Amino acid sequence: MHSTVVPFGRTTDGHEVQLFTLTNKNGLRATITNYGGTLTSLLVPDKNGQLGDVVLGFDNVSGYQSPEYLKSGPYFGALIGRFGNRIAKGKFTLDGQEYSLVTNNGPNSLHGGSKGFDKVVWQAEPGTSADGQTLTLTYHSQDGEEGYPGNLEVKVVYTLTNDDALRIEYTATTDQATPINLTNHAYFNLGLGQLPDVLGHQVTLHADRYTVVDDTAIPTGELRPVQGTPFDFTAPHAIGERIAQVPGGYDHNWVLNQGQQPIAKVVEPTTCRVMEVLTDEPGVQFYTGNFLDGSLTGKEGVVYGKNAGFCLETQHFPDSPNQPSFPNTILQPGQTYQSTTEYRFSVQQ
C-alpha cells in the first residue's frame, strides 16, 4: 500500500500545493498538505468501527488563505515555527544582542510571526518506514526571517503507524544561535460532524503545575500548582465542567510531570474514541477553541463555532527566551534540535 498525492490548489502567490494521504493497515487515514505542513484530516474509527474525521480543517488550500481565516488566525492543523506560542513584545536578547520580531498578537509575537512555518510551502517526500507510511517535510528558514537569527534547516516527519498513532518527529540545525520551539496546531473533536463542540470530552493531563500568565498571555514566571483549581486535570474532567471559571476559556501551558507517558488522555463518551498524547516536550498548551465564532465553515459544510475543537500543542514554555528559569529553547550551531510527539487512537471498551 502506498501513500497518494493529489493537487490541493494554488497559494495566493502562485505556488501549486499538494495533498498527501497516508493510510495504515487498519484503514486509518491522515491527509497532510505541504502548505504549512498542515494536517487537514485524520480518519479514525468509533465504537462501531466507523471511520470519522477528528480534526478541523478545509477541503482546499483557499480555505487556509481566506480573509476570514487569516483574520481569526486559528492555525488549523499547521506546523508552527520558528517559535510556537508567544514571545513578549516581540523581543529577546541573545549573546548580548537584542532581536526584534514581527508582532502579530497584540504587543507580542505569536507562532513565528506574520508568516511563520504555517504559511510557507514545504518540500515534501512520501515514503514508508518499518512503522508505517511517512511524509517527510523540509524547509529552509533564512537568516532574518520574521526577525530570527540564523539559517535554520528544518525537517518534520509525519508517520501514520500501523498501531494507530500519528507520530510527528521534528529535527533542525542552525548556523547561528536561535530560539526554536516547534509544534503542531491540530484542533481535535473526537465527535466531529456529530458534536458541535468538545465540552463533553473527558480530559486527563499529567501536569501538577501550569504557567500563570498576564493579561497578554505572557508567563509571569510563576509555576502554580493546579490542585484545587479548574486547571487540575490530573483526574479526568469534562472540558466544559469548569471552563466558565477560567476567564476566556482554557489557553494555557501545563508543566508536564516528567517520566509520565502518555502525558494526556482524551475520551469522547458518545463515540468512545480515545486519544492519548506522548511527547518528550516539557509542556503542553491546552486550548479550547475559545476564539472560534462561527465565521469559518470547514469540511463537509461544518460550521466551526466556539469550542468546536481543542488543541494539545506539545511545546517548550511560552516566552522562554526571556525567562531564564524556563527550560532552554536556544539552539546552537553544531547542535541538533529533536522532538517527537505521538497521538495514539483507540476505542474505549
pLDDT at 3: 87
Decide if 117 contacts 139 (C-beta within 8 A): yes
Residue 39: predicted pLDDT: 98
The predicted structure's pLDDT at residue 1: 64
- What does DSSP say about strands 91-94 and 97-100: parallel, antiparallel, or unpaired? antiparallel
The answer to whether 195 touches 270, Cβ cutoff 8 Å, is yes
Cell of 122: 514545504
205 vs 209: CA distance, rounded Å: 10
Binding residues for beta-D-galactose: 85-86, 185-187, 251
CA distance 171 to 239: 32
Residues ≥6 apart with Cβ < 8 Å to 50:
none
The domain locations on the chain are 4-347
Three-state DSSP class for residue 147: helix
Q: Residue 163: CA atoms inside 13 Å, Cβ hemisphere, count?
A: 7
Please state which architecture CATH assigns to domain 4-347: Distorted Sandwich (2.70)
Give me the tens of pLDDT residue by residue for the chain, a chain 349 residues long: 678 999 999 999 999 999 999 999 999 999 999 999 999 999 999 999 999 999 999 999 999 999 999 998 999 999 999 999 999 999 999 999 999 999 999 999 999 999 999 999 999 999 999 999 999 999 999 999 999 999 999 999 999 999 999 999 999 999 999 999 999 999 999 998 889 999 999 999 999 999 999 999 999 999 999 999 999 999 999 999 999 999 999 999 999 999 999 999 999 999 999 999 999 999 999 999 999 999 999 999 999 999 999 999 999 999 999 999 999 999 999 999 999 999 999 999 8
Question: Which residues does the annotation mark as catalytic?
Answer: 185, 313
Q: Give the pLDDT of residue 194.
A: 87
pLDDT of residue 42: 98
Would the pTM of this model clear 0.85, i.e. be above it?
yes
